[in-house]
Every structure is written in structure tokens, then in C-alpha cells.
Amino acid sequence: MKTILLTGAAGSIGEKIIRSFCKSYKIICVDKNKKSLKLLKKKFSKIEIYECDLIHEPAVKKLIEFIERKFKTIDILINNAGQIYSHPIIKLGKKGFVSHSYKDWKKTIDLNLNSLFLLSSKVIENFCNNRKKGLIINISSISAKGNIGQSAYSSAKSAVEVLTKIWSEELSSFNIRVTCIAPGFFKTKSTFDSLNSYQIEHVKKNTPSLRLGKTYEIISALKFIINNKFFNGKVLPLDGGLKL
């Protein structure tokens, strides 16, 4: 049975991925939320859970050591961890204009880009040392095209898409594919947490499909990438035709 390493496993999309793939794959579920991981384990007894802060290099190193000790290597890495953050470069506050804080910029870049780089680089090293064919699927966002009010988040996701292209070219000789999915707005908790009802209706109105995406459609995209060995180095848009 092949093995998937899934980050951001405790989120709403993460759980859908687990539910869809747990019968066909061994899944190592990674998240920094220990309580949520334990709840996942109760729902899906066959999964492996591992608490890890992916922006902390020693913790990532321990995760890879755990994988090498128990599984030797993995087959697929799904970089699903991340966090939406919205803030314009400048906005008017009670005491005048306030710029986007560097603290929030750095946190957003860490959560959406640096964590992905850190884990992926270690997994790639594992693939190569074990002469292992591998697949990396990065989760980007429609915001990678540049979304007003999301300087940090859009920048991080845009960089993820660039890394996808670079890594696919660098790793092709090692039989490692690197791909990416760029979802638009889906019916998930993170969408409803980050957008108000007016914004959600605006998104629906400006999407040719006239609705939010459904999580099973992300699962379909993942299955397509896994099964289509010729798909490599590209970003698969999954946004219903929405133009920001």
C-alpha cells in the first residue's frame, strides 16, 4: 500500500482528503493541532498522526526521521497546510492610517510558503536517497494571481506556484513530479471565516458557475493528478472561472 504524507490534515479539506484516500493509501496526517489530530484518529483508526509545527526546522527533521524509521519513504506529499490572511497595505484606523504589519506579513509567509519549502526539501531529499519515484502536490490559491487586500497571502501562494515550476524541472531526472492545484472559493470553514455574506454573494455572482466550489471537486482534482503521470510542473486552476 502506498503512503501519503498530508499536511494541514485537521482542516476541513484535510479531513475530506483522508476520508477519500484512507482505504487505498496509508496516510500520515500532520497538523499542529494535537486535539484535532486525536479526533481524526478516532474517526479514521488506520491513519498515522503526527503533531508538527512545520515552520520549526528541528520539528520537521523529527517528522522525517519518524517517516524513515517507520515507513522508510513515502509516495505522495500533499502540501495542504496554510492559512488565509487578509489585510490591505494601508487602512484607516481610529488613530489615522495604519500599514500592514511586518509581524503579520512574516507569519503569513511562514505558514503558507516557508513551511512548504522546509518540509518539501526534506521529503525530496528522502525521495532521492531512496531512489524513489515521488509526487508532490502543492495547494495554492486563486489569490496567487493577486487579490486586493491580501498582499502577504497572495505573495506566498504566487511563490508556491513558481516553486512548483522550478522543482518539476529540477527533479524530472529523478522521476519526481511536482504539481499544484489553485482552488478558488469553496464551501469550507476557512472561506466562511474569511468572507462575510456580502463578499460570498459577490464571489458567486462573478463566478460563471454561480456557486462556491464543493470539496469533492478538490478530491477529483487530486485523483486526476495522482493518476495522470503526464501532468507535471503545472498549476491546475479550480475556481469555477472566477476572475478576481
Look up cell 489569490; give the residue: 143
Given a cut of 80, whether residue 76 has pLDDT beyond it is yes
Cα(first)–Cα(last) distance of the chain, in Å?
Answer: 41
Confidence band of 223 (pLDDT split at 50, 70, 90):
very high
Q: Are 4 and 28 in contact (CB under 8 A)?
A: yes
Average pLDDT score over residue span 29-47: 96
Q: Confirm if 63 and 120 have CB atoms less than 8 A apart.
A: no
Compute the average pLDDT of residues 111-117.
98
Quote the cell numbers at residue 1. 500500500
pLDDT for 244: 77
User: Does position 190 have pLDDT exceeding 90, yes or no?
Assistant: no
Burial string for 130-156 (b: 16+ CB within 10 Å, else e) reads eebebbbbbbbbbbbbeeeebbbbbbb
3-state percent breakdown (helix, strand, coil) of the chain, nearest 5: 50, 20, 30
Closest alpha carbon to 131 in 169, 175, 168, 171:
175
* Mean pLDDT, rounded, for 67-85: 95
Radius of gyration of the chain measured on its C-alpha atoms = 18
User: Which residue type sits at 133?
Assistant: K
The pLDDT-based confidence of 123 (bands split at 50, 70, 90) is very high
Q: Which pLDDT belongs to residue 94?
A: 86
pLDDT at 73 (0 to 100): 93
| CATH code for the domain defined by 3-238 | 3.40.50.720
Q: Indicate whether 45 pLDDT > 90.
A: yes
With 0-12 CB in 10 A as exposed, 13-18 as middle and 19+ as buried, what is 113?
Answer: buried
What pLDDT digit, counting tens, does each position of 85-109 carry? 999 999 998 889 999 999 999 999 9
Confidence at residue 193, expressed as pLDDT on a 0 to 100 scale:
83
Average pLDDT, the chain: 95
Position 38 pLDDT exceeds 80? yes
Look up residue 93 and give its three cell numbers: 484606523
Q: What is the mean pLDDT of residues 179-184?
A: 97
Question: What pLDDT score does 93 carry?
Answer: 85
pLDDT tens column, 197-208: 888 999 999 999
pLDDT value at residue 12 = 85
pLDDT tops 80 at residue 145: yes
Give the whole-number percent of the chain exceeding pLDDT 90: 90
126 pLDDT exceeds 90?
yes
Return d(Cα 227, Cα 224) in angstroms, integer: 5
Euclidean distance between CA atoms 29 and 43, whole angstroms: 13
Question: Residue 24 corresponds to which cell in the numbers above?
Answer: 487505498
Instruction: Provide the pLDDT confidence category of residue 148 given band limits of 50, 70 and 90.
Output: very high
The dihedral sign for the CA sequence 192, 8, 138, 151 = positive
What is the helix (H) or strand (E) element at residue 11, kind and residue range? none
CB 81 within 8 A of CB 115: yes
Domain ranges in the chain are 3-238
